[in-house]
Amino acid sequence: MIVSPLDYRYGREEVKAIFSEESTLEYMLEVEASLAKAEAEIGIVPKEAAEEIWKNANLKHVDIKEVKRVEAEIGHNVMAMVKVLSSVSGESGRFVHLGATSNDITDTVNALQFKRFYSILIGDLLGLSEVLYDLSKKNKHTVMIGRTHGQQALPITFGLKTSVYLAEVMRHLARVEESKKRVVVGKFMGAVGTGAALGKDTIKVQSTLMRNLGINEEEGPTQIVDRDRYVEYVSIVANIATSLEKIATEVRNLQRTEINEVQEPFNEAKQVGSSTMAQKINPVTSENIVSLARIIRGFVTPMHESAVLWHERDLTNSASERFIIPYVSILIDDILNKMIYVLGGLRVNSDVMLKNVLANDMALGEAYLMALVNNGYGRQEAHEIVRQASMEAREKGGELWENIRKRSGKNIIKLSPLDYTGNSIEITESILKKFEEVRANYDAKKGAAQKVG
């Protein structure tokens, strides 16, 4: 029986595979085999035994159904895996899990899953950045009305709007990169974190094991990896989700019939907008992003709660983390890729943007205020003239500009919204340049990695 929508509706298979039952067991076996190998390097376990364990630590030899059968019998998932791996490893099985406690395995598995997902998450953020870069570059001269409080405010450019999003995504990229060293962390210090089982050799084993696995080691463990690391990870993911919800909400608002300045991709040949209102084109992907972003943020509090454990550890974090880590990871990848789809295929109705910004001259209130100041009025006095002139225009009609001329007695020149976008283009170009530098750095890293490979 399938219950979770992740199993049949949301998430990419590539990411779900990282956190699947089979992959988790494979990671557990990899950690056990790598532990035996590290202990053999230090001389604690015979080399031949470690090789035998390594040979059998895979799903070809360790049957997942047998592990689940043993778990049902003994009530302990890690020990069930240990028993089955020990059994298929023959005499060498007596060295499986030597000096380890369960969280040495499970937390190190978490680190391996984080490590694999971080590369995907970084790729997603770079992909979204590329789309925002293209949108911003293409529309840096596309004038539209800026809005505050849901009301028309001052002219901006659409390129400025999307470049502000680009700058935000680049900050997320920096946060993810910076957090990786703190989150991708495993441990091998046994029960309560002292490493007493193997004495002073434990420190050597932990360093060797983590180095071989390509992850960092916990410098101050209890029986578990400290959960402030996981809190940081979930908080960063929730922060990214919030930005995506903000962008998706903007798309939804600008797609409203009475605004009609953008439209998310819609397959007009086949896609159905409504089961009854066949004429509708709804921003359903953007709405889906908003809905799932809220689910992601909902896991922030449970993750904080899971960091508060009794003494050196208890089990109150275990069940919740089985949901939190896979769900936030799978869903953030899902909505990042949906946002790439939305923005990559976004229809920008620049003609409607132009029409909306030219609809009346109310959006030039600040411009006329500054014109009055330049003609000798004090700032507050000019503000009141513009305010009264705008109220008159709303009540009786007419142009703001004409009302200001009458009230001020000054020959104020009529202005165009197209000439009052301030530093929109310069700001956009600055952000574009910054991303070009970021992209060049990643391209250089990728090139260096390929040479090493």
Catalytic site positions: 149, 274
Helix (H, G, I), strand (E, B) or coil at 145: strand
Q: Are 166 and 129 in contact (CB under 8 A)?
A: yes
CA atoms within 13 A on the CB side of 339: 37
DSSP for 289-334 reads: HHHHHHHHHTTHHHHHHHT--STT--STTHHHHHHHHHHHHHHHHH
Residue type, 41: E
Helix pair 228-254, 284-297: axis angle to 10 deg: 160
Sign of CA dihedral 293, 294, 296, 300: positive
- Which H or E element spans position 62? none
* Rounded Cα gap, residues 11 and 366, in angstroms: 47
Q: Are 436 and 167 in contact (CB under 8 A)?
A: no
DSSP 414: P
